[in-house]
């Protein structure tokens, strides 16, 4: 009798152990399957890829439909030339019915210490201008960021050579490096090459004239400027002479620099020119030379 009881107990224990083992196998199998499935809540996996594919197809179809309907926006057209450089006196003469009583603002030796401040002042005054840059002022990341900000405010960047030498005193290979080096840096930072070239001290050579033409740049000097002279290195005196000089005439090409006193004088210079009835020439409306082939 006792042996029968022990035998019955052993059989029951074996059945229970077999049942537990089956439950563990089922649980493990379910866990492995869940790891292979895409996450239904986040959409990662196959469903996510399908959604991206549909969006791309829809976008392509919409773009094609717009093209067929002629609704794709066209690239912006360049401004119509309104002024042409007169190399006899480096002023600008009107083309057609353009306003003859006009003047161009330009700034050399940028961006040294005050160019960004000057650009912001000009922007507030809605006054267009060209900033001519030197390569040694754009050789750090911080200086390049300043150059980019000036350009993004809408001011064209001109070429004023890498190190501001007298171009007549260096060989042609060095002249090339001085000019093309600036073009390369400016294009890298802003996305476009300079369209204007001004030689330091206004001194050009036959070689630099041809190089500027080959690069499609307009070579210019200036009509007048005063901010490098000791007598005009203060805001009041500079603002007065820039507006009241006898050299201010139709198409005047005004030369200024990245200087503290020039930055301080800018509001009065701009207002003084406008009070005298002068329109400030937008560089985008200046006729450019055809690039040499």
Residue 41 inside a domain? The answer is: no
One domain for residues 9 and 123: no
Residue 278 inside a domain? The answer is: yes
Distance from C-alpha of 21 to C-alpha of 24, rounded to nearest angstrom = 5
One domain for residues 27 and 91: no
pLDDT of 10:
41
Higher pLDDT, 293 or 173: 173
CATH number of the domain bearing residue 214 = 3.20.20.370
> Which of 62-76, 77-91, 261-275 reaches the highest mean pLDDT?
261-275
Instruction: Kindly report the three-state secondary structure assignment for every residue of 181-233.
Output: HHHHHHHHHHCCCCCEECCHHHCCCHHHHHHHHHCCCEECCCCECCCCCHHHC
One domain for residues 155 and 17: no
Is the predicted pLDDT of residue 34 greater than 50, yes or no?
Answer: no
First to last CA, the chain: 118
CA 219 distance to own-chain centroid? 22
Share of the chain above pLDDT 70, in %: 72
Q: What count of other Cβ atoms lies within 10 Å of the Cβ of residue 1? A: 4
One domain for residues 142 and 14: no
One domain for residues 23 and 160: no
The per-residue DSSP string of 81-146 comes to P-EEEETTTTEEEE-TT--SSEEEEEEEEETSSSHHHHHHHHHHTT---EEEE-GGGSSSHHHHHH
**What value does the mean pLDDT of the chain take?**
81
Task: Write the CB contacts of 239 (distance below 8 Å, at least 6 apart in sequence).
Answer: 265, 268, 269, 272
Q: What is the pLDDT of residues 97-136, one digit of tens each?
A: 999 999 999 999 999 999 999 999 999 999 999 999 999 9
pLDDT of 170:
98
One domain for residues 92 and 21: no
pLDDT of 123:
98
Is the predicted pLDDT of residue 179 greater than 60, yes or no?
Answer: yes
Q: What count of other Cβ atoms lies within 10 Å of the Cβ of residue 186? A: 23
- The number of CA neighbours under 13 Å toward the Cβ of 118 is 32
102 backbone dihedrals φ, ψ, rounded to 5°? -145, 160
Q: What is the pLDDT of residues 220-255, one digit of tens each?
A: 999 999 999 999 999 999 999 999 999 999 999 999
Is the predicted pLDDT of residue 63 greater than 50, yes or no?
Answer: no
Residue 44 inside a domain? The answer is: no
Indicate the number of domains in the chain: 2
One domain for residues 155 and 14: no
Higher pLDDT, 282 or 43: 282
Distance from C-alpha of 281 to C-alpha of 90, rounded to nearest angstrom = 14
Task: Write the CB contacts of 195 (distance below 8 Å, at least 6 apart in sequence).
Answer: 156, 158, 216, 217, 218, 283, 288
Residue 178 inside a domain? The answer is: yes
One domain for residues 139 and 265: yes
Residue 43 inside a domain? The answer is: no
Q: Decide if 217 contacts 199 (C-beta within 8 A).
A: no
Q: At what angle do helices 235-244 and 260-275 cross, to 10 degrees?
A: 40
Q: What is the pLDDT of residues 147-178, one digit of tens each?
A: 999 999 999 999 999 999 999 999 999 999 99
One domain for residues 102 and 200: yes
Residue 293 inside a domain? The answer is: no
The token pair at 178 is 């001085």
pLDDT of 44:
31
Q: What is the pLDDT of residues 264-290, one digit of tens each?
A: 999 999 999 999 999 999 999 999 998
Higher pLDDT, 269 or 64: 269
One domain for residues 87 and 20: no
Residue 139 inside a domain? The answer is: yes
pLDDT of 290:
80
One domain for residues 142 and 232: yes
pLDDT band at 80 (very low <50, low <70, confident <90, very high): confident
Is the predicted pLDDT of residue 20 greater than 50, yes or no?
Answer: no
Higher pLDDT, 193 or 2: 193
pLDDT of 291:
65
Distance from C-alpha of 96 to C-alpha of 102, rounded to nearest angstrom = 14
Residue 40 inside a domain? The answer is: no
Q: At what angle do helices 206-214 and 172-190 cross, to 10 degrees?
A: 30
Is the predicted pLDDT of residue 6 greater than 50, yes or no?
Answer: no
Domain span holding position 249: 83-285
């Amino acid at each position: 009798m006792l042996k029968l009881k022990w035998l019955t107990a052993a059989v029951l224990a074996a059945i229970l152990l077999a049942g537990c083992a089956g439950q563990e196998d089922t649980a493990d199998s379910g866990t492995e399957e869940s790891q292979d499935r895409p996450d239904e809540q986040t959409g990662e996996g196959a469903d996510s890829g399908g959604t991206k594919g549909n969006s791309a197809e829809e976008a392509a179809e919409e773009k094609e439909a717009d093209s067929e309907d002629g609704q794709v926006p066209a690239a912006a057209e360049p401004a119509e030339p309104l002024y042409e450089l007169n190399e006899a006196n480096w002023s600008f003469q009107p083309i057609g019915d353009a306003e003859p009583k006009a003047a161009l603002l330009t700034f050399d030796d940028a961006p040294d210490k005050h160019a960004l401040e000057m650009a912001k002042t000009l922007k507030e005054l809605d006054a267009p201008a060209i900033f001519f840059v030197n390569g040694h002022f754009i050789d750090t990341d911080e200086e390049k960021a300043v150059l980019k900000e000036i350009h993004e405010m809408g001011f064209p960047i001109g070429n004023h050579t890498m190190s501001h030498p007298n171009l007549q005193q260096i060989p042609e290979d060095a002249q090339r490096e001085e000019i093309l080096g600036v073009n390369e840096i400016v294009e890298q930072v802003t996305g476009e090459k300079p369209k204007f070239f001004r030689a330091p001290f206004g001194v050009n050579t036959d070689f630099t004239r041809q190089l500027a033409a080959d690069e499609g740049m307009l070579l210019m000097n200036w009509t007048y400027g005063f901010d490098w002279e000791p007598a005009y290195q203060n805001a009041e005196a500079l603002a007065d002479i820039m507006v009241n000089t006898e050299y201010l005439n139709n198409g005047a090409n005004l030369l200024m620099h990245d200087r503290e006193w020039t930055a301080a004088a800018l509001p009065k210079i701009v207002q003084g020119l406008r009070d005298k009835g002068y329109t400030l020439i937008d560089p985008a409306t200046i006729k450019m030379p055809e690039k040499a082939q």
